[in-house]
A and B are shown apart, each in its own frame.
Chain A
């Protein structure tokens, strides 16, 4: 088997039963924890780096929510931390925009892309398809270290004198191309572009590995249609990333050229601060096409893994097969394919030809069909189940609730006739935070609570987990639901304050409320972080191989699997991953041969 051959050198002797991890005594701290080629360790590296970024990105949102909620107040302690960026305890507008930009960049790319699919694709793909490791453990390791390098550069940009990038996470030129236009468009922007380029390399190396592993390294009997839905979701996610990230890379490189080499890809007819620039013939809109050609698939890169995780966790804890497996795979495929054909719905008000826009309206609203299929299939999975509310399951249910709420507002924004009114207001802030941000995070939490026992051989504290879930669910709705009303009042996003406006100054109390709740929700996330790290060392130990009674392959490994995952032969697979409640049995593992008198499905 090709698996064995590739891993043979790391794997010597793993075949004699039982003690996979003991063969790693010769491993040094460096090879085991730092430059590890074990997919499980790399997954944990992605996860912990992602958690650190999530704390930073979340903290940034708390800081700018302070400004939005309490525009009249000053917070002297801010000056202690931020110095000139918060003179007299009030955020500088430049820094406010830098915080907003970094919050978006960090959460979208570093947390919900690297932290979510980086963690779970790495951790679950080999375990669930039955492989000893990724197709190329070395590239996999490189993938993490490119992410690490991207993190270092992005982190460094926070400390430069002119501040980090501040043109919004979409970095539209000319604002991002001209240092004269904003202080964040000076060296901070170059660092942003370099960091993102490194990040894209990480995404490509990882993605190629995930695709290859899913296609080539499945164990005997694991046909594509026997894979758990998580595998399909990660597979399509990786395909999306591999096809769309290079386009962003080219966009970033051209922007670097415009910034530093005097080219005019995105620049034309510009007079800034009284200075007439020589650039002619470029198109600022070109960048938006390049950006959103990645940017739209990107939101599915975030949500598809969450969908896969929710499907798996929901089926296991309903003790019922996922309803409509083939429809679930088909709708994942449809969403992935359509995601490449809708990017210009972010650009309805850029002067895009309205006729061209109409195609994007049609294709965008088409995505609602596979999304509806998924929602109804999840609901039917719950129907007549025997549901256990593990923390993972609660987050999976919360995910579906958020996906419904946020998905439905997408039908407003995808329709150009409504988008012309709602574009760049708080309505869209509410929409994408619910459907991408919160739903993506819920998918991640569902996965973390569910597979934590497999990752660390211990359980997290349940009481803390339940508090975390309820505060986050309620808090997220309290924060984002009322924002729709602000959007329907036309209140623009990315405003530092609204006091100068007659049309938008009536939401002071609401803004204060939202800021207050967001601080509480942030605190609840710290509770999670504490629970996570505390339980690695002090959590209750897992004593049974398969604590959730799940049918998929990862639970047939030892409680703490070593590098290579299975001490003996990789088990053979005889059925799909969803035989729950069949023929009166609670569940039938994938490894069990189909019995003679077993009913068909």
Chain B
């Protein structure tokens, strides 16, 4: 019933607006069209400048309300992200000035030069000096932005430091899996044709490769060491996903068939961030940032950043995946078939 009332009310409002609009048309005809046109012109000129002033107050107010909720106040949680924040501030400053000047001129000119019987429009077709000025200045400013931007860009897209902690990230609908290379520092080989979740091999690891025997697999939650660069090698098994790390200011797609990489150095542990943000529930979240299907919005991972000791302790407590895959009663059987036999066999199934 309330729905009908709502519809009726909306319809009434529409009708009312329409009647007012029609009536105002008649009034303007009665009053003399030229006269009422000039009156409307003055009203709109006033509204334009009012919009400018209220708009600028609104911009300030919006910032007041929401700045605290952005990631700026807590600062970048990675060392590389600091340069992104610096770049952001440079760009905000430059564009902010341009925004203010151009919007003020736009609405102020509109108001100031509104139609008046006293004024004649000024026949002004071009002026090379002016035009060169506003070609040259933007070009120079943009060059500065490009130079700074690319400087930072090359810094954090360059090769990861040699002592980086390696971790492999694999996305699939709608979860994340992580693999650590174990003591040898090398990942065991993978082949997507060996994938067999029911035999505890969802990543398609080739168990015949000895390098895989000490690899450690975890789901959903990965660990990283504070102050130590971490290098992610990113895979996807099905559609394109994206490792989105807002706190670290980083992002990289996970593309099936094409591994990508991403590295950064965490600055603060998760515990420190709980204090910094004043949020006892704080976690570093991995958000999938590339539409990947029905549950894209809940494709969530976590990174626990901790001290080296805590990290070592955690790692020592994890059993290599190879052992886990081989120990269960039914697992060795299926796995041995995979190891002995040709990968081709698994495709035909």
Query: A-side interface residues toward B, CB under 8 Å?
Result: 77, 93-94, 97, 167-168, 172-175, 178, 181-183, 267-274, 276, 278, 280, 282-285, 318-321, 323-327, 349-351, 354, 357-358, 361-362, 365-366, 368-369, 372-373, 375-380, 382-389, 394, 397, 400-401, 404-405, 408-409, 411-412, 415-418, 420-421, 423-425, 461-464, 466-467, 470, 473-474, 477, 481-482, 485, 488-490, 492, 494-498, 500-504, 506-507, 510, 523, 526-527, 530-531, 540, 578, 580-584, 601
Q: With an 8 A cutoff between CB atoms, is B329 at the interface?
A: no
> How close is B171's CB to chain A, nearest CB, in angstroms?
12
Given A276-B192, A394-B44, verify A379-B289 contact (CB < 8 Å).
Answer: no
Q: Is the beta-carbon distance between A477 and B121 smaller than 8 angstroms?
A: no
> How close is B245's CB to chain A, nearest CB, in angstroms?
9
> How close is B202's CB to chain A, nearest CB, in angstroms?
8
Q: Is the beta-carbon distance between B300 and A349 smaller than 8 angstroms?
A: no
- Complex-state Cα separation, A519 to B135, whole angstroms: 41
Q: Which of A172, A175, A485, A503 contacts B285 (CB 8 A)?
A: A503
**Residue picked from B21, B66, B257, most chain A C-beta under 10 Å:** B257
- Complex-state Cα separation, A284 to B281, whole angstroms: 37
> How close is A228's CB to chain B, nearest CB, in angstroms?
14
Given A417-B150, A500-B298, verify A326-B126 contact (CB < 8 Å).
Answer: yes
Q: Which of A175, A327, A582, A583 contacts B291 (CB 8 A)?
A: A175
**Residue picked from B123, B152, B282, most chain A C-beta under 10 Å:** B123
Collect the chain A residues with CB atoms within 8 Å of residue B83's CB. 417
> How close is B243's CB to chain A, nearest CB, in angstroms?
9
Collect the chain B residues with CB atoms within 8 Å of residue A77's CB. 3
- Complex-state Cα separation, A500 to B291, whole angstroms: 17
Q: Is the beta-carbon distance between A581 and B295 smaller than 8 angstroms?
A: no
Q: With an 8 A cutoff between CB atoms, is B339 at the interface?
A: no
Q: Which of B17, B107, B204, B253 contacts A351 (CB 8 A)?
A: B253
Q: Is the beta-carbon distance between A423 and B251 smaller than 8 angstroms?
A: yes
Collect the chain B residues with CB atoms within 8 Å of residue A379's CB. 102, 105-106, 109
Q: Is the beta-carbon distance between A412 and B91 smaller than 8 angstroms?
A: yes
Collect the chain A residues with CB atoms within 8 Å of residue B149's CB. 361, 415-418
- Complex-state Cα separation, A78 to B10, whole angstroms: 18
Collect the chain A residues with CB atoms within 8 Å of residue B17's CB. 464, 467, 527
Collect the chain A residues with CB atoms within 8 Å of residue B114's CB. 386-387, 389
Q: Is the beta-carbon distance between A495 and B126 smaller than 8 angstroms?
A: no
Given A285-B255, A365-B142, verify A320-B296 contact (CB < 8 Å).
Answer: no
Q: Is the beta-carbon distance between A178 and B239 smaller than 8 angstroms?
A: yes
Interface of B is mostly: helix
- Complex-state Cα separation, A482 to B124, whole angstroms: 38
> How close is A385's CB to chain B, nearest CB, in angstroms?
5
Collect the chain A residues with CB atoms within 8 Å of residue B294's CB. 93-94, 97, 182-183
Q: With an 8 A cutoff between CB atoms, is B246 at the interface?
A: yes
Q: With an 8 A cutoff between CB atoms, is B24 at the interface?
A: yes
Q: Which of B25, B240, B250, B300 contacts A175 (CB 8 A)?
A: B240
Q: Is the beta-carbon distance between A464 and B255 smaller than 8 angstroms?
A: no
- Complex-state Cα separation, A394 to B46, whole angstroms: 12
Given A421-B249, A540-B25, verify A168-B87 contact (CB < 8 Å).
Answer: no
Q: Which of A282, A349, A385 contacts B257 (CB 8 A)?
A: A282
Q: Which residue of B lies closest to A318 (CB)?
A: B121
Q: Is the beta-carbon distance between A501 and B285 smaller than 8 angstroms?
A: yes
- Complex-state Cα separation, A540 to B24, whole angstroms: 13
Q: Which of B95, B121, B192, B285 contacts A412 (CB 8 A)?
A: B95
Q: Is the beta-carbon distance between B48 and A397 smaller than 8 angstroms?
A: yes
> How close is A512's CB to chain B, nearest CB, in angstroms?
14
Q: Which of A272, A523, A601 contacts B10 (CB 8 A)?
A: A523
